[in-house]
Structure 1
Amino acid sequence: MHADDQVGEGVPTELAVFLRGAVDGRHPVKIAPSVCEGCGGHVFIVLVNASGAERECSGCGSRAFIADSEEFWDEESWEDDEPGAAGCPCGGEEFEAAVAFSLGDDGLVRWVTVGLRCVKDGFCGIYSDWKIDYGPTDHLLTMV
């Protein structure tokens, strides 16, 4: 981990370390866990493409977009990048999720990186990663 990194409570250690390694060279980062607002659950089925992610709580079925994904979550913007269900090499489809927000020198979010940890076998992977080129961006930090 970088000295300036911030890791939110509830992020699985393995996933935090994996995310930090995946965004190496981008710092500082804020890593936040995905938590269902409906039931407080931490396990999700996740739809992803290159520029966004939507999660569905395995406990209560509540759905939420990650960061600004909803703005680009329509057929017109998908063209060759239609979202699909995230899957683990083991066949698992339920994940703990966390997001690494890479910050620029100005403190604005510049990259959103979605990391998932399979609840079946613990495999960690980056399932979506996109650049943010606007401001302000503080609202993104709560949209995990």
Structure 2
Amino acid sequence: MVVRGVWNDVSVHADDQVGEGVPAELAVFLRGAVDGRPVKIAPSICEGCGGRVFFVLVNASGAQRECCGCGSCAFIADSEEFWNEESWEGDEPGAAGCPCGSEEFEAAVAFSLADDGSVRWVTLGLQCIKDGFSGVYADWKIDYGPTDHLLTMV
């Protein structure tokens, strides 16, 4: 599904694409949190059970999600490449938490695209299933190519 227009005074770029199943509030939040480049926003869905609620570990350069339904884990985008003590340098992953105390979230990723369509930034947005609070929990730059494989690693 491609969504175009303006939601809650947040301008949506003409080339934005929002995947089916992304909560509307989270899509609006992610669009407002990224630069003016077009984005592809995709929902996190567990490959094992189809679940959409996760516990998430984050640091400045990556994220890993664990399905609340079946317990399977997956890395977001290229996080696995940097998921080691050597890369963390004092920024060890921690559990994402909502101000309400919950640690269960729906997740979506906004991939900011360059003019040639390659991914330049990965932005992880989480929406608390208890109170609906949305936030950016991780955001990192991609400075290599090709990047098409990242678009399926949500």
Residue number in structure 2 paired with 1:78: 88
Instruction: Provide the alpha-carbon RMSD of the alignment.
Output: 0.5
Aligned length: 143
Give the Cα–Cα distance (whole angstroms) in 2 for the partners of residues 133 and 105 of structure 1.
14
Q: CA deviation at 1:65?
A: 0.1
Counterpart of 2:67 (choices 57, 82, 101) is: 57
Which protein has greater RCO, CA pairs closer than 8 Å, 6+ apart?
1
Unaligned runs of 5+ in 2: 1-11
Q: Is 2:67 aligned against 1:67?
A: no
Q: Give, in whole Å, the separation in 1 of the partners of 2:78 and 2:117.
A: 17
2:30 alignment partner, SS class: helix
The TM-score, its normalising length taken from structure 1, stands at: 0.98
Q: Please tell me the residue identity of whatever aligns with 2:142.
A: I
Aligned match of 1:35:
45
| 2:110 alignment partner AA | A
What letter corresponds to residue 141 of structure 1 in structure 2? L
Instruction: Calculate the TM-score normalised by the size of structure 2.
Output: 0.92
> Matched residues in 1 for 2:52 and 2:84: separation?
26
Tell me how far apart the structure 2 counterparts of residues 54 and 79 of structure 1 sit (CA, whole Å): 18
CA deviation string 1:63-101 (max 9, x = no partner): 000000000000111111100000000001000000000
Match of 2:34 in 1: 23
Q: Within the alignment, does 1:121 sit opposite 2:131 as a pair? A: yes
